[in-house]
């Protein structure tokens, strides 16, 4: 595994490196939409378990005006990590009917 970070994630019956996890598309089973790819992972400081997958916000005007809000997907919402995709069941992530962009409800 050339270039893989030395971070390995254990989950149930599987083990996957961070770089492999970030290559997979995240698909919501409630909408069937592609949310994006995991750009980062948040860990718990106390337990060292994965807390969230993070999809960075989309760039505004090629990144010159910053980015949109990041999407955080709780690890508990991950149903399975497959060969090509990560399936999630997250009711907070919904598809906007107007322009096809992803709308996220934040706390």
Asked if residues 102 and 93 have their Cβ atoms less than 8 Å apart, the reply is yes
What's the pLDDT score for residue 50?
85
Q: Which residue has the tokens 């990041």?
A: 70
Residue 88 has pLDDT above 90, yes or no: yes
17-55 pLDDT per residue, tens: 778 888 899 999 988 888 899 898 888 899 888 888 988
DSSP run (H or E) holding 64: none
Q: Are 71 and 104 in contact, with CB atoms under 8 Å apart? A: yes
pLDDT at 103: 55
Instruction: List the structure tokens of 97.
Output: 């009917």
């Amino acid at each position: 595994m050339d270039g893989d970070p030395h971070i390995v994630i254990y989950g149930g019956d599987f083990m996957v490196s961070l770089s492999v996890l970030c290559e997979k598309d995240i698909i919501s089973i409630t909408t069937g939409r592609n949310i994006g790819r995991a750009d980062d992972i948040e860990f718990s400081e106390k337990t060292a378990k994965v807390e969230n997958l993070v999809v960075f916000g989309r760039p505004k005007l090629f990144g010159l005006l910053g980015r949109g809000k990041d999407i955080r997907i709780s690890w508990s919402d991950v149903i399975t990590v497959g060969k090509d995709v990560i399936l999630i069941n997250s009711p907070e992530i919904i598809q906007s009917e107007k322009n096809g962009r992803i709308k996220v409800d934040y706390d």
